[in-house]
Chains A and B, each alone.
Chain A
């Protein structure tokens, strides 16, 4: 499997605090990888290590199948925390400076990128007069210089209005679908992330607790009929013979979750008539937010 990013036991320690501990991340080519965690969970620290801004305390990072080298930086574009812009220069001038530093001499590319993020390339307005949304969009345009294979976005929609959020989402989707770009987005706004991500990495207190594809996550967040019975084996035999249930999961010694669509009253009737004691029966749907909050260890917004 072709991994664009693969980390092995990645750690970062600041004095006595382990900001990142034993992260084993796997990002496949073409993924939109949603990196989720609470504030202070270690998302930005991890992304900075991937981008080479900070040194890991331990562990390895493989980018595009190789150890980091002088060419890795050209294949990665990043917007981490703030956009990193010279405030007295215009959008075009900032882009031009970075392009010069990269050895690029393509004014057309700069104009195209500024148009993509809906900024006027002719404007001489200095960046210090930009709104937060405009700075974020310019930051994305800067990250896209040189047509990177991997785009790292750290909380790109923070502080944006709904219109701005929609625009960023469209840009991300376009880049992934039309250019096949692999994208890592860290965020704690779950609703927005769920609209674009194809894979998730969930980090809690510096540890990557789970990596899961969007499809698997959907399966986990389906509605199900929860049964608590005295004899699950017998209950399953009965239900298989009656309605040929296919999709179910035995949770523990007494609980069964059935994902097939069934009439709960009929299920109860079958089991009771077969001398199976049913102590609990209800429909449950675990929504995305509850699932993530459970994983990241929060009861309020991530």
Chain B
């Protein structure tokens, strides 16, 4: 396969164009993939952060951000179902936040009981500071919107006094509206909700019971609400944001477009490269090269371009995503995405070389006698 490598080295300009095409496609695919993964992750981030096994929501609630109140008795009835170890409440509503310097900002106010989970950002939850009764947390990426210079800072939420006491990480604005986290008691007060009302009732199942049995039991007893496992509700929420709003589809389309643009660029350059060397393929065949030998040369060239282009694309996209995090806090690149993207890029190069392989294989060896 020295010929494959030497052909590439010999025509560096063409090789560069091919590699650039692959890099561009890999860059786009990884970037869009990171947007998609980050978007999916952000769409269910708060649900995933709870320690609960089961979520109860009002009937037809599509996503965490669109919860509607459910009666307090639902929680009491759920607590009485065999196998339910513990209940907690979460609520979320849009509220008006007044910054320390008097500006107003719409925020997504999230309140939760302390026992909702250790990873859930709520004042007083384990691992989290107790704070004052009015304590509110916000994500560091929303600093510019929250406009707090020092903590604690006295602010207003829906004309109620609140105290910004801590910055957290990883729960940045997902809808362009910053989250504020506080206790359930505070949140229901800010929202003007009754003390027993909840938007989401979360349940932990006793170890001795099967979650699916408890779920079935709850569904029978509480037909007026939706009873879902945590994963089901997370999936429902992700599905809403990605499919029903079209946002995920747009991101996915951009990723696919990146692949297709890369495919076209790479196909054209690999094809042009093959056609430029078509006389050499004819010579190879005249000298006794098998079809497999000829195909291997074209494919090897394409795969070398794919590997080099992928590496360069990844080297370019990683720092770019790092920079993009300051603008899109929820963008997220899991390590597997980087590895996973090598597969479509190599597939892209192989696909792109199909036309070239065909041309190289069908060239008449008899043309070698044409001067």
Binding between chains A and B: no
